[in-house]
Chains A and B, each alone.
Chain A
Amino acid sequence: MADIYLDNNATTQCDPKVVEAMLPFFLEQFGNPSSIHSFGAGVGRALGKARKQIQALLGAAHDSEIILTSCGTESDNTAILSALKCFPNRKEIITTTVEHPAVLALCAQLEKEGYTIHRLKVDKKGRLDLDEYQRLLTPNVAIVSVMWANNETGTLFPVEEMAELAHAVGVQFHTDAVQAVGKVAIDLKKTKIDMLSVSGHKLHAPKGIGVLYLKRGARFRPLFRGGHQERGRRAGTENAASVVGLGKACELAMEHIEFENSQVKALRDRLEQGILAQVPNCFVTGDPDNRLPNTANIAFEYIEGEGILMLLNKAGIAASSGSACTSGSLEPSHVMRAMDIPYTAAHGTIRFSLSRYNTQVEIDRVIAAVPPIVAELRRLSPYWGEDGPVTEPEKAFAPVYA
Chain B
Amino acid sequence: MWDYSDKVKEHFFQPRNVGALEGANGIGDVGSISCGDALRLSLIVNPDTDVIEDARFQTFGCGSAIASSSALTEIIKGMKVEEALKVTNDDIADFLDGLPPEKMHCSVMGREALQAAIANFKGEEWADDHEEGALVCKCFAVDEKLIEGLVRAHNLHTVQEVTNYTKAGGGCCSCHEGIEEILMRVMQERGEIFDADSAPAVAEPEPLPIAAKASGGGMTSVQRIRRIEAVIESIRPNLRMDGGDAELVEVDGNTIYIKMIGACSGCGMASMTIGGIQQRLMEELGEFIKVVPAEKLAQPPQQAKKVAHG
Contact = CB atoms under 8 A, between A and B. Distances in A.
A and B associate: yes
Interface of A: 33-36, 40-41, 44-45, 62, 64-65, 86-90, 139, 167, 170-172, 192, 194, 215-221, 231-233
Given A88-B197, A218-B173, 8 more contacts: A36-B2, A89-B196, A90-B197, A170-B200, A215-B202, A217-B202, A231-B174, A233-B174
Interface of B: 1-3, 138, 171-174, 176-177, 196-197, 199-205
A42 B221 CA distance: 58
Contact of A217 (B2, B3, B173): B173
Contacts of A171: 201
Contacts of B177: 220-221
10 contacts: A64-B172, A87-B196, A172-B202, A194-B201, A216-B205, A217-B202, A217-B203, A217-B204, A218-B202, A221-B177
A171 B200 CA distance: 9
Contact of A218 (B2, B197, B201): B201
Contacts of A62: 172
Contacts of B138: 231
B233 to A, nearest CB: 29
Nearest to B200: A170
Given A34-B1, A220-B176, A87 B197 contact: yes
B192 to A, nearest CB: 16
B1 A40 contact: yes
Contacts of B172: 62, 64-65, 216, 231
A216 B196 contact: no
Given A231-B174, A232-B174, A233-B174, A36 B1 contact: yes
A395 B203 CA distance: 60
Contacts of A192: 202
Pairs A-B, 3 closest by C-beta atoms: A217-B203, A64-B172, A231-B174
A219 B1 contact: no
Contacts of B176: 217, 219-220
A192 B1 CA distance: 33
Contact of A64 (B174, B199, B202, B204): B174
Contacts of A216: 172-173, 203, 205
Contacts, number: 64
Contacts of B202: 167, 172, 192, 194, 215, 217-219
B224 to A, nearest CB: 31
A217 B197 contact: no
A35 B2 CA distance: 9
A41 B3 CA distance: 8
A258 to B, nearest CB: 31
Nearest to B160: A217
A45 B3 CA distance: 9
B31 to A, nearest CB: 21
B1 A89 contact: no
A40 B3 CA distance: 12
Given A216-B172, A216-B173, A221-B177, A35 B197 contact: no
Nearest to B195: A89
A94 to B, nearest CB: 14
A41 B1 contact: yes
A216 B176 CA distance: 10
Contacts of B3: 44-45
Contacts of B173: 216-218
B144 to A, nearest CB: 14
B201 A88 contact: no
B113 to A, nearest CB: 25
Contacts of B199: 219
A346 to B, nearest CB: 38
Contacts of A34: 1
Contact of A35 (B1, B203, B204, B205): B1
Contacts of A217: 173, 176, 202-205
Nearest to A63: B172
B2 to A, nearest CB: 8
Nearest to B169: A217
B188 to A, nearest CB: 16
> Which of A35, A171, A232 is packed against the most chain B CB atoms within 10 Å?
A232
A216 B174 CA distance: 8
A33 B201 contact: no
Given A220-B177, A233-B174, A88 B1 contact: no
A220 B177 CA distance: 7
A86 B197 CA distance: 8
A178 B197 CA distance: 29
Given A34-B1, A41-B1, A233-B174, A219 B201 contact: yes
Nearest to B205: A217
Contact of B1 (A44, A87, A172, A194): A44
Contacts of A90: 197
Contacts of B203: 216-218
A87 B197 CA distance: 5
A215 B200 CA distance: 13
Contacts of A33: 1
Contacts of A45: 3
Contacts of B171: 64
A218 B172 CA distance: 10
Contacts of A170: 200-201
A34 B172 CA distance: 19
A292 B72 CA distance: 60
Nearest to A169: B201
Contacts of A219: 176, 199, 201-202
